[in-house]
Chain A
């Protein structure tokens, strides 16, 4: 359940950034989470509910954008979608993998109410 630590970290960052931008209430938070980031999506959703309960982010919508993996073969530079973090290149069959996408763990943006 490291997703709870991740959720708490998201909440901390969102609160800090919203304050720094003198923003009003945060209506949405957009997250990019890669399929190979080591995060269980369901667990993260649950953890965000727990981490925001009773806080000013309780009503905030967290949009979790799932980023599919893209790998490059280190040998023949073929781009493909790997099923696992370790695999063989479907083109040249060499082992090894360089992940270009799929390990994202990022807060992309916040949608906030304007403070009049």
Chain B
């Protein structure tokens, strides 16, 4: 592991690219000089805890929140959004729930009403960014390499590349994953979790952390309800069990059903 940046491969695997740009190689070190690796066969089996100083040793009390570094950067992003009058929405879901289609439709629907910008997160490819660019919004793609979520620092770096107009709506499409993104604040105004009717109704119970941390839930692909065995009332009940304050919207991004409510909600949001 590279000690300078903590990256896993001796070079930072996170790439931030605009569609049409040559492949970015954003690694920020001038040179890598790694020390040699020791092969200690080291058994970490000490179970005792220290509450006192040992001879030649000293206890430093920290009580520091492990996520504080990310939270600090998220606050910084949030301040940037506030100053520019930007409303940022963090969209999270499992892969294939229809996030990108929802964005394409939202971009069209917001045309002439409010500027839109998009940050796309995926492990690999520029496919989603290209779809968003075609839909007509400025977009930057973050490829996390092996990473399973976006963090606040990635958003900060993406914002350097993305020209976000004042008073824009900024959609951040997180990496498709119902677990990891829930712990990492990005500086967003709202956290939106999307599930589709082709998934099980018990998703909120299986992945409670995500539903607990979100404030809004979109149930997508409701045009498919006649063809799937999915109980809308049940998923609502489960989602509200985990988070009684969740705002739930039913929608088919594909057909546009329910999209109006979503757009109206967005247009009413204050930075």
Contacts and interface: CB of A to CB of B under 8 A. Distances in A.
B44 A23 contact: no
Interface of A: 1-2, 4-6, 8-13, 17-18, 21, 23, 27-28, 30-31, 36, 38, 50-56, 58-59, 61-63, 65, 84-86, 95-96, 105-114
Contact of A38 (B147, B183, B241): B183
B61 A38 contact: no
21 contacts: A2-B149, A2-B179, A2-B180, A2-B183, A4-B8, A5-B149, A8-B6, A9-B70, A10-B66, A12-B6, A13-B68, A28-B50, A30-B49, A38-B209, A50-B8, A85-B208, A105-B67, A106-B64, A107-B62, A107-B66, A110-B60
Contacts of A63: 46-47, 49
A106 B37 contact: no
Given A6-B66, A6-B183, 9 more contacts: A4-B8, A5-B147, A50-B1, A62-B44, A63-B49, A85-B242, A107-B62, A110-B60, A111-B50
A110 B183 contact: no
B212 interface: yes
A51 B1 contact: yes
B34 interface: yes
B8 A27 contact: no
A11 B6 contact: yes
A99 B149 CA distance: 25
Contacts, number: 128
Contact of B57 (A4, A52, A114): A114
Nearest to B43: A61
Nearest to B49: A63
Given A28-B50, A51-B1, A17 B56 contact: no
Interface in B25-41: 34-35, 37-38, 40
Contact of A54 (B37, B63, B149, B183): B37
A64 B263 CA distance: 45
